[in-house]
Structure 1
Amino acid sequence: MIIVIQCIDQVGLVAAISGVLAQQQLNIISLREHVDKAENRFFLRVQVEAPANADAVQDMLQAELTTVLPVDAVVMVNPLPEKRIVLLVTKEYHCLGDILIRNYFKSLKASVLAVIGNYDQLQDICHRFDLPFHHVSHEGKSKDVFESEIRNIVDRYAPDYLVLAKFMRILSPAFVANWPGRIINIHHSFLPAFAGANPYRQAFERGVKLIGATAHFVTNDLDEGPIIAQQIIPVTHSLTAADMMRAGKEIETSVLAKALRLVFDDRVFVYNNKTVVFE
C-alpha cells in the first residue's frame, strides 16, 4: 500500500503520520520525505505492507491522516497501482515503440488504452500490438476543430494520463486545461535550453558539447512545465544536426521511459512548477 502526502511543513509531521500507521498495525517498508524550506512545503511517500482488509483500512486511514495533518494537506492512500494512458504521436516511432513493448510485457505499470496520431504512419505498429489507433489529421482544419476531435476520442477512454510520445503539435491552453498535471511530454533538448521547434538545429548552430532530452508535465507555457527527468550525452564538432538528432533519439526514449516509471509509481510531486522526485 502506498501513501503520498503533500502539505505545509510543521514540526512533528513524520511522528504523527507514523503514529497513525502504528495504530492501524501497518508496517512501514520504506519512507521518503522532503521539506522545501523556501516554500515551507512537506512531501512524503511511504510504502506499508498491505493489510488483509486493505479496502476497509484505506478509507479509515485517509480520514485519520487528515485529522493529524495541516488543513491544506493532500493525501492519497493506495493510488491506482496501474494507470490508464492514451498516447499521442506524429511520425517518429522510437518512443512509441519502446512504450508498446513495455506495455506488451507488463513492465510499464500502466495500461495503454489507445494511440492517437495526426498522421497514419504509426497505425501498423499499433495494430501489431492489438491496440486501437485513431487517425486525427490536423490538415485543413482549425486548431479548435482538431483538438475537439482528439478530446472526443480521449474522453471515451477516460485515461489517467496523456503521453505525448513525440507528438509534434502545440496544444492550446483550453486543451491542456482538460487534464491539468496529467499530460506528459518528451522534449528533445536539455530544457530550459533550446525550447520550441528544431532544438537539434539550434544546438548545432550554437556549437554545444552536450545535448539532452527532458520529460515534463505540459502547461500553458511551451516547454516550461514541471520537469520530471532529464539526461545528456556529449557531442563534438564532427556531428551534423542530423547526427545529433539520431543520437538524441536514444536519450529521448530513455528519459521518457524513466519519467513514466516515476509518475506511474507515484514518486513525483508537483508544486509551483517544480517537482520533488523520490527515485
Structure 2
Amino acid sequence: MNELTILISCQDKVGLVTDITRVLSEHHLNIVAMREFVDETKKAFFTRIACTGILNETDKLQTKLLENLPADAVVNLVTQAGKRIAVLVTKEYHCLAEILVKNQFETLGADVRCIIGNYETLQNFTEKMGIPYFCVSHADKDKHEFEAELKDIINRHEVDYIVLAKFMRILSADFVKDYAGKIVNIHHSFLPAFIGANPYRQAFERGVKIIGATAHFVTDNLDEGPIITQHTTHVDHNFGVKEMVRAGKEIEKKVLLEALALIFEDRVFVSGNKTVVFK
C-alpha cells in the first residue's frame, strides 16, 4: 500500500468534487483526508487529497484527472516522502540552528543538502552538524557573479526549495525567476508593516505595542511575496531595540519552522499574491 498526495487547482464549477472522487475510485484509491477551498472572487478551486492504494500508473491517473477538470487545471501527484533544501545564511544563527537540529533528529520533513553563507561565521557550527557549508562572499564580485556561484551550488545539490534563514542580501529578479515559488524567506516584522532593513528599529521608533515575523515566498517585489504564516508578540514602553530583537528572534524561529512544515507537507497553494494553506 502506497501513500499519495494529490494537489489540484483550477477554475471552480459544479460537480468538481464528484468528478475527482469518481476518478480516484476508478483507480482504487482510498481517500484518507480531503480539504477544499473555493475563492469566490476568482472562482478558483483548490484541493489537497491524501490517498492510499496501489500506485502503478500515476501518469494515467493524472491524465484522467485532467480530462475531467477544467482546461486550466493544474494537477500534482506527490509521492516523494521528503523534500530537499538548501539554506542560505549570513551571520545570525537562530533560524539555522532550529533547522539543523530538526534535520539531525529527522523531524524537519526535509533533507538539508547544503548551507550557503556569504560569511564564514556559521561554517564551523554547520559542519559540526555534518552538513556541507559553502562560503560565497559578495564582497569581491558583482551581483551577477555572486548569484552565479549560488546557482551553481544550488543546482548541483538538486534541491526542491531554497530557505533564506536570515540571509541578508537582496536577490535579483532574474535569480528569483529561476526559482519561482521555491524560495522561502523569514522577515523580521509583521508584514506589510516595516518592509526592508532594520524593522525592529522602525518598530521601536514608531512606538508599536505588537511586533511579529512573517514567512513568505520570495518575489522580485521586496518583502511583498505571498505570505505563508505570521505570528506576533506584545511589547511595551520597557522594550528598547535590543529587547525587541531578542523577542523577535523567538518568533522568527517559530514562524519559519511552521511555514516550512506546511510546505514540506504540500499544504500550501500560491494564488496570485496570496496563499491557500490547508492546516
Q: Same fold (TM over 0.5)?
A: yes
- One of 27, 43, 47 as aligned partner of 2:30: 27
Q: Equivalent residue of 2:46, what SS? A: strand
Identity of aligned residues (%): 55
1:194 aligns with 2:197: no
Match for 1:128: what amino acid?
K
Specify which of 32, 40, 48 is matched with residue 45 of structure 1: 48
Query: 5 Å matches for 1:1-279?
Result: 1-49=4-52, 51=53, 53-54=54-55, 56-279=56-279
Q: 5+ unaligned residues in a row in structure 1: which ranges?
A: none
CA distance in 2 between counterparts of 1:158 and 1:194 reads: 34
TM-score when scaled to structure 2?
A: 0.97
Deviation digits for residues 231-279 of structure 1, max 9, x if unmatched?
0000001100111001000000000000000001000000111100000
Compute the RMSD of aligned alpha carbons.
0.9
Deviation sequence 1:207-248 (CA, Å, 0-9, x none): 000000000000000000000010000000110011100100
Distance in 2 separating the partners of 1:107 and 1:73: 33
Deviation at 1:81, TM superposition (A): 2.1
- Report how many aligned residue pairs link the two structures: 276
Q: Distance in 2 between matches of 1:103 and 1:94?
A: 14
- Tell me the CA shift for residue 98 of structure 1: 0.3
The Cα offsets for residues 119-154 of structure 1, whole Å up to 9 and x where unpaired, read as 111001111111100001111321111111111111
Match of 2:97, SS? helix
Find the aligned partners of 1:31 and 1:58 in 2 and give their Cα distance.
19
Q: 1 CA distance for matches of 2:230 and 2:27? A: 39
Q: How many Å separate the matches in 2 of 1:277 and 1:105?
A: 26
Pairwise CA distance, 1:79: 4.5
Whichever residue aligns with residue 9 of structure 2, its letter is Q
Q: Tell me the distance in 2 between the aligned counterparts of 1:138 and 1:25.
A: 54
CA-CA distance at 1:6 after TM superposition = 0.3
Matches of 1:5 and 1:197, distance apart in 2: 37
- TM superposition shift of 1:8: 0.5
* Alignment check: 8 A CA contact 1:90 1:166 kept: yes
- CA contact under 8 A between 1:58 and 1:78: conserved in structure 2? no
Separation (CA, whole Å) in 1 of partners of 2:168 and 2:78:
34
TM-score, length-scaled by structure 1:
0.97
1:247 aligns to what SS in structure 2?
helix
Amino acid at match of 1:34: F
Distance in 2 (CA, whole Å) between partners of 1:146 and 1:13 is 47
How big is the shift at 1:155?
1.4
Inter-partner Cα distance in structure 2 for 1:264 and 1:250:
22
* DSSP 3-state at the match of 2:57: helix
Q: What is the alpha-carbon distance in structure 2 between the residues aligned to residue 118 and residue 78 of structure 1?
A: 33
Distance 2:143 2:30 in 1: 52
* Equivalent AA in structure 2 for residue 44 of structure 1: T
Contact 1:99–1:108 (CA<8 Å) still a contact in 2? yes
